[in-house]
Every structure is written in structure tokens, then in C-alpha cells.
């Protein structure tokens, strides 16, 4: 039994390959986020320069206001595109990390179960009630983990739907405001 326990502790909680995969996932996400930030900053700078140039060419106050209201839409679209890109990177990273952790937890659960079953096989006579109690506790813990994992997945799906709806609402509101501003001008 002690040899099995030694093997179990030597291999857990994370093995080297899982740690390396986790590190690579985090670095890849950091690279994607850095690229998103640089591209957004570049687009924002180009957009700002174009806006300033256009506003400098305004002949009167009315054309200045018209130009200014027309420039709001692309800025909001850029902000929404950035937030969607950021959210995509974050959820992708979370999903990859969750896969790694779930694989490790599954492996650990399997090893613990094997260790407990082996220990219970060698239990002294008359300990059937204790053995049944231990197995029941293990089953309850596994069931609770599965329930929490499912609830977390459902909450993530709801959050994704809410972010998408909020982004769409922001774009529609900006489009409506820009259209009204143009009509008023």
C-alpha cells in the first residue's frame, strides 16, 4: 500500500507535461492579447488622425458637428471589436485551462479510487459498513464536483450570451444616435 501511495504522490497534482501545456497556453494567450492591444492602438491612432484631419477641414459649425457625430460610429465599432476580441481570448484561454485541469482531476480521481479500492480490499473482516461509507463519500464528492462543473458551464454560456447581447445593443444604439444626428444636421 505504501508503494502505491508513493507512486500516487509522485505523479500528482500535475505532471510535467500538463504544467508545460498550461504554461504554453498562458503564453499563447498573452501573445494574442498583446497583438490585439497593438492592433487596436494602431487602428485607434489612425482613426484619430483621420478624424482630426476631417474636423480641421470643416467650413462652419454645422459641418463640424455633422463630421463629429459621424465619427462616433467607427469609434464605438472599434471599441466593441476590441471587447469581443478580448472576451474571445479570455474564454478560449479559460476553456484550454479547464481541459488541462479536468484531465488532471480525472486522472487523480481515477488514481485515488484505485488506491481506496485497493486499501478497502485489504480491510479487516467486519469492516463492511466502513468500506460502504467510504465508497459512498467518494461517490458523493464526485457527484458534487460534476454538479458544480455543470453549473459553471451553464453560467459561462449565459455570460457569453449576455456579452453578445450587450455588444449588439451598444452598436445599435450608436447607429441610431448617429442616424438621428445626421438627420438633425
Q: What is the pLDDT of residue 37?
A: 95
Q: What is the pLDDT of residue 13?
A: 47
Q: Which of 183, 173, 185 is nearest to 72 (CA)?
A: 173
**4 pLDDT above the threshold of 70:** no
Q: How confident is the model at residue 26 (pLDDT cuts 50, 70, 90)?
A: very high
Q: What is the pLDDT of residue 184?
A: 61
**7 pLDDT above the threshold of 60:** no
Q: What is the DSSP string of the chain?
A: -HHHHHHHHHH-S--HHHHHHHHHHHHHHHHHHHHHHHHHHHHHHHHHHHHHHHHHT--SHHHHHHHHHHHHHHHHHHHHHHHHHHHHHHHHHHHHHHHHHHHHHHHHHHHHHHHHHHHHHTPPTT-HHHHHHHHHHHHHHHHHHHHHHHHHHHHHHHHHHHHHHHHHHHHHHHHHHHHHHHHH-
Q: What is the pLDDT of residue 35?
A: 96
Instruction: Check residues 56 and 149 and name the one with the higher pLDDT.
Output: 56
Q: What is the pLDDT of residue 1?
A: 47
Q: What is the pLDDT of residue 178?
A: 64
pLDDT digits (tens, 9 = 90+) for 29-65: 999 999 999 999 999 999 989 888 888 888 888 888 8
Split into its structural domains, the chain has a count of 1
- Give residue 53's domain range: 2-184
Amino acid at each position: 500500500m505504501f508503494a502505491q501511495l508513493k507512486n500516487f504522490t509522485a505523479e500528482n497534482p500535475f505532471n510535467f507535461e500538463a504544467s508545460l501545456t498550461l504554461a504554453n497556453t498562458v503564453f499563447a494567450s498573452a501573445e494574442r492579447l498583446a497583438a490585439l492591444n497593438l492592433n487596436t492602438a494602431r487602428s485607434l491612432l489612425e482613426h484619430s488622425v483621420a478624424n482630426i484631419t476631417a474636423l480641421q477641414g470643416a467650413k462652419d459649425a454645422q459641418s463640424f458637428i455633422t463630421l463629429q457625430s459621424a465619427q462616433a460610429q467607427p469609434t464605438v465599432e472599434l471599441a466593441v471589436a476590441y471587447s469581443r476580441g478580448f472576451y474571445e481570448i479570455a474564454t478560449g484561454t479559460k476553456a484550454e485551462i479547464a481541459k488541462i485541469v479536468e484531465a488532471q482531476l480525472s486522472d487523480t480521481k481515477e488514481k485515488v479510487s484505485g488506491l481506496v479500492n485497493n486499501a478497502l480490499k485489504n480491510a479487516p473482516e467486519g469492516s463492511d459498513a466502513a468500506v460502504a461509507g467510504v465508497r459512498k463519500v467518494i461517490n458523493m464528492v464526485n457527484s458534487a464536483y460534476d454538479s458544480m462543473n455543470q453549473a459553471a458551464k451553464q453560467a459561462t454560456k449565459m455570460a457569453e450570451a449576455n456579452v453578445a447581447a450587450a455588444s449588439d445593443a451598444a452598436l445599435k444604439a450608436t447607429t441610431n444616435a448617429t442616424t438621428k444626428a445626421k438627420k438633425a444636421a
